[in-house]
Amino acid sequence: MMLAPRMRPVIAAVAGVVVFAWIVGQQDLWVRALSALFPGSVRPVYPAATVAELTLQHLRLVGISSGLTLLVGIPLGIWVTRPSGADFREIVSASVDFGQTFPPVAVLALMMPILGFGLWPAVVALFLYGMFPVVSNTVAGLEAVPGTLIDAARGMGMGRGRILLAVELPLAARVIMAGVRTSVVINIGTATVAAAVGAGGLGDPIIGGINVQNMAYVLQGATAAALLAIVADGLLAGAERLLTPRGLEA
Amino acid sequence: MITLRDVTKSYGEVTAVDRVSFEVPSGEVCVLIGPSGCGKTTTLRMINRLIEPTSGTIEIDGRDIMDSRPEELRRHIGYVIQSVGLFPHLTVAENVATVPKLLGWERRRYEPKALELLEIVGLPPAEYAEKYPRQLSGGQAQRVGVARALAADPPLLLMDEPFGAVDPLTRERLQAEFARIQRELRKTVIFVTHDVDEAIKLADRIALMRAGRLEQYDTPETLLDHPASKFVHDFMGSDRALKRLGRACVADVMRTDVESTTDGTRAIPREACTDSRFVYLTDESGVLEGWVDCRVLDAGTPPEDAGTPVDWREAAVHPETTLKDALSRMLGFGFRNVAVVDAQGRLVGEVSLAAIEATMADADTHIANLEEGEVLGALPDEEARS
Amino acid sequence: MVALTGCALLPFVEFRANRIVSGEPESVLAAGIAGWVLVAFVVLALAGAVAPERARGPLLLAAGAGSGLALLWALGVAAVRLQQGAPAIARVSIGPGAWLAGLGALVVWFAGTRATGSARVRRTAGAVALLGVAAVLMWGGLAELSIAREYAVQSRRFWGLVRQHLVLAGSGVGFGVLIGIPLGVLASRNRVVREVGLGVVSVIQTIPSMAMLGLLIAPLSALGLAAIGTTPAVIALTLYALLPVMRNTFVGLAGVDPGVIDAGRGMGMGRLQLLVRVEAPLALPLVIEGVRAAAVLVIGIAAVTAFIGAGGLGILVFQGWGQQADDLTLLGAIPMVVLAVLADISMRGLRRLVVSPGIEEGAVS
């Protein structure tokens, strides 16, 4: 069967998600594999939760925080490039640039004294940290749309809202999606660390494993977390590809 | 002298250049021309081995180019390209000094040389030497490109559409400057272009290529008058007589004994108009400010109203302007005479339609028909100024 | 706005009977007049945001610096006041309101540096702000704050950890540059290196740092190397530094105008001469930008390596989390931010210093 070239990465990404979901769901597989790798270990598999449960916890943390990030970040990026928000463009860009130099662990750490431990403080930290690439790419993407195109659209009688929807956003989609992708992948990584502040997820077996000197737990969590990040990255790369207007494809 | 013998370049099945042979005597400008994809640039780039020939030999003054290392060879051949390729991180002076530095010259040798070359290409070193390429206009950048190619005093210059990327006015100026520099330095030049007018203007010989083969190699006059094939005839264009005018410049046919007066605003007596039709008005230093048409005086117009003020930048030509451009200027203004000024606008002479006609007495087709009654009669004459 | 609401509604400082127990909130008014000065500067910042173009930069700079300094001052005053008569183990820690105000001051300051056209105004404002910070520190009121007390307890260990953090991050970036630049050069010359190399390095980049440390354990143990401690940490940091350095080197080299390369070759430059004299200087801004990104990234990831016993400031953060001691966590986190920001600033400075003025600023990042 012939596939359109632009669909190939998308199909591959979806296939990756399916395979990943299957692997995560097969607790037996993990037990057998880890027992084989660590024959001496009495308990080669993290006992507190199955891989599937841990992955779902992880996804919940990332899903809520990244979802909030998109809901707030993209409109914010759009707003500061509109005349009504232009006054705040500098402040927003400055904070976003500054924020991007912050180590993610430090952002988690700075949130703790204010919000305490647990899932929700971690969600807030991930939400805030995830904003930086999303806002910065939304602004960059929209500002990269050639002024001549907007002029042309205006000349054809399009209103502001229509120009945004029909011209600017489609042209900026690739850049915005790249920001979303960076943001989500960083969030998956930081969420692993957030296990240390009681947010749960795939970081649990890694931290727990190091604490009790059980390398099998560590490997279990690390493998699942790495796969999750790679699969999510692939999926978002596919989405990036799909959202890119055909005329802009390289 | 450059000699190409049966030079061929193939890429797999495709033959880009097919057994091309020609010879360029020292000090001459050979223009390679032809439609895109005809192999002219490939031929040029084989001479400094940016492309290695598949077969055939190329000799420079009797030495096979394959005998020296490519880098060594290139350092002794000037190279100018359409995109200029100035190094953005280096100043203009450093750019010009590139090849001398590669050749291991000492600073006290290459520095004055670089400044001297900037002067030659018309960029005062005091102003331009320390500038960076991004501060230059397209025309200025290409002047630096030419200076850079000349820096190590190579006997041979390869130029690949050097004036292709600048606006028409700048191109015309650069062509004139190039012709002037070439008269002084007498380099052997291989020049690629797709612009027939440029070729006719600059070439001592034209090599017209088509699909990798050399169609005809001869002087521009021969290509125009005796094309070897229909392709050559069509490529050179139907307005061949006009094109030939691109070979001569105003300086060749202008008369210098023109009437002029600094009394611009005061009445010109009819007696001042002796044997010429126009009396030119200039300021104290000779800069053209306008003219008076003697026929207007004859017609009884009061002398104080007879002067027409003009801007020399628009209404005059330069000695190095080609006759073709001068003719087009005359047709545009509707006059049979036009003033000639130097670079500062000082009046140096006048060129007339009759003088241009005389130079192409032997020309064919429609210029020969430009009799008074036909085309010229249609020119708006006196009315143009009323 | 957020900052204003922050310091008005949220507790400004918290008073706690000792290091661990949770505290009683106190409002910004605990700082007396200093608190009101702070509020005034926040209002000035708001005025600056809507001021006309020309006045905006200096106004924002003044408001940012002013509110930052007033904040420090107010914190000190509040701490001294609350500490009076309290037992020695009592702590006054910085409350959420103060944090938000501090963040706001920083944001306003950065917006100010951006909106200010004149470099001289920027430099002057920077010097004044630094002097102000120095003065507040000399005054000593801040030493009464809990984080300063924590520092006093941990000071010897603290500087050791800072050094360790720098060594870890420095080696990661160092090896990343040593490997990444040649790989980037190769990628620009060779299609296989470009596609496979950049692909592999990009996948590495997506792996969460903690997972990476976990995944390194098995292969390192198999090689007989320490799976815990400095070795895996430096390996992981190097892997993360590779992508920005390699990709930017490649992009920088690939972005060199082909006409410039053609001219260089046509004038008789050899491959190496072309690389050293033409391509490298032209790619330099992007390469430095890559090293900057790598440095900022790796300083952050070095915090995570504390998990596997590599040391660094992450230790303070994780111990702080373990003991629920916020002051300890902050003592690790704040210097980490400072290190990252300093690395960012110094690499930007280096770029201005070494990149030829002939090359336009503002290349791709």
Q: Suggest the residue from B41, B71, B75, B94 to mutate for an interface test with chain C (most C CBs closer than 10 A).
A: B71
Highest mean pLDDT among B27-31, B237-241, B249-253, C303-307: B27-31
- DSSP letter assigned to residue A168: I
What's the confidence (pLDDT) of residue C68? 79
Q: What number is the average pLDDT over the span B287-296?
A: 78
Instruction: Spell out which chain C residues touch chain B, with contact meaning CB-CB distance below 8 angstroms.
Output: 257-270, 273, 278, 281-282, 355-360
For chain A, domain boundaries: 5-248
CATH code of the region A5-248: 1.10.3720.10
Residue A169 · residue A175 · CB < 8 Å: no
Question: Helices marked H in chain B — which ranges?
Answer: 40-47, 70-75, 92-96, 98-102, 107-120, 125-128, 138-150, 168-185, 196-202, 220-225, 230-236, 240-245, 250-253, 294-298, 312-315, 323-333, 353-359, 365-368
Q: Indicate the angle between helix axes C230-254 and C146-189, nearest 10 degrees.
A: 50
CB contact under 8 A, C359 and B84: no
CB contact under 8 A, C206 and A87: no
Ramachandran category for residue B226: left, alpha or beta (phi over 0 → left; psi -120 to 50 → alpha): beta
**To the nearest 10°, the Cα dihedral for C334, C42, C146, C25?**
-130
Q: How far is C274 from chain B (nearest CA, A)?
A: 11
Residue C169: pLDDT above 90?
A: yes
Burial of B169 (0-12, 13-18, 19+ CB in 10 A): exposed
**Chain C residue nearest residue A208, CA to CA:** C307
- DSSP letter assigned to residue B299: T
- The confidence band for C31, taking pLDDT boundaries of 50, 70 and 90, is low
Distance from the Cα of residue B309 to its chain's centroid = 30
- The confidence band for C115, taking pLDDT boundaries of 50, 70 and 90, is confident
Q: How far is B308 from chain C (nearest CA, A)?
A: 48
- Chain A touches chain B, with at least 3 Cβ pairs below 8 Å, answer no
Q: Which of C312, C214, B108 is nearest to A204 (CA)?
A: C214
Structural element, H or E, at residue B337: strand B337-341
Q: Indicate the angle between helix axes A215-243 and A203-211, nearest 10 degrees.
A: 160
List the beta bridge partners of residue B271. none
Whole-angstrom distance, CA of residue B16 vs CA of residue B37: 8
- The confidence band for C17, taking pLDDT boundaries of 50, 70 and 90, is low
Residue C362 · residue C57 · CB < 8 Å: no
- The confidence band for C86, taking pLDDT boundaries of 50, 70 and 90, is low
Give the distance between the most distant pair of CA atoms in chain B: 79
According to CATH, the topology of domain C153-354 is MetI-like fold (1.10.3720)
Whole-angstrom distance, CA of residue A122 vs CA of residue A66: 12
Whole-prediction pTM: 0.80
According to CATH, the topology of domain B251-385 is CBS-domain (3.10.580)
- The confidence band for B287, taking pLDDT boundaries of 50, 70 and 90, is confident
CA angle B324, B327, B333 (to 5 degrees): 145
Report pLDDT digits (tens) over B155-186: 999 999 999 888 888 888 899 889 989 988 99
Report pLDDT digits (tens) over B79-127: 999 989 999 999 999 999 999 999 999 999 999 999 999 999 989 999 9
Which CATH class for the B2-248 domain?
alpha beta
Does any CB of chain C come closer than 8 Å to the CB of residue B41? no
Q: What number is the average pLDDT over the span C169-177?
A: 96
What's the confidence (pLDDT) of residue C66? 80
Whole-angstrom distance, CA of residue C27 vs CA of residue C6: 11
Whole-angstrom distance, CA of residue B289 vs CA of residue B310: 6
What's the confidence (pLDDT) of residue C242? 94
Length of chain A, in residues:
250
Residue C43: pLDDT above 80?
A: no
Does any CB of chain C come closer than 8 Å to the CB of residue B49? no
Whole-angstrom distance, CA of residue B328 vs CA of residue B293: 21
Q: Which of A186, A199, A103, A197 is nearest to A137 (CA)?
A: A186
Whole-angstrom distance, CA of residue B382 vs CA of residue C341: 77
Whole-angstrom distance, CA of residue A67 vs CA of residue A228: 17
What's the confidence (pLDDT) of residue B380? 40
Measured between CB atoms, which of C263, C267, C357 is closest to B75?
C267
Whole-angstrom distance, CA of residue B280 vs CA of residue B307: 9
Residue C118 · residue A105 · CB < 8 Å: no
For chain B, domain boundaries: 2-248, 251-385
Give the distance between the most distant pair of CA atoms in chain A: 75
CA distances from C262 to B309, B342, C258 (A): 50, 37, 6
Q: Which of B145, B176, B148, B147 is nearest to B83 (CA)?
A: B145
Token pair 């070359």 is found at: B117
Q: Strand order of the sheet with strand C91-94?
A: C24-26, C13-16, C91-94
Report pLDDT digits (tens) over B127-140: 999 999 999 998 99
Q: How far is A181 from chain C (nearest CA, A)?
A: 10
Ramachandran category for residue C224: left, alpha or beta (phi over 0 → left; psi -120 to 50 → alpha): left
For chain C, domain boundaries: 2-144, 153-354
Q: Indicate the angle between helix axes C314-323 and C146-189, nearest 10 degrees.
A: 130
Q: What number is the average pLDDT over the span C237-248?
A: 95
Residue C105 · residue C67 · CB < 8 Å: yes
Measured between CB atoms, which of A87, A98, A192 is closest to C106?
A98
Q: How far is A143 from chain C (nearest CA, A)?
A: 14
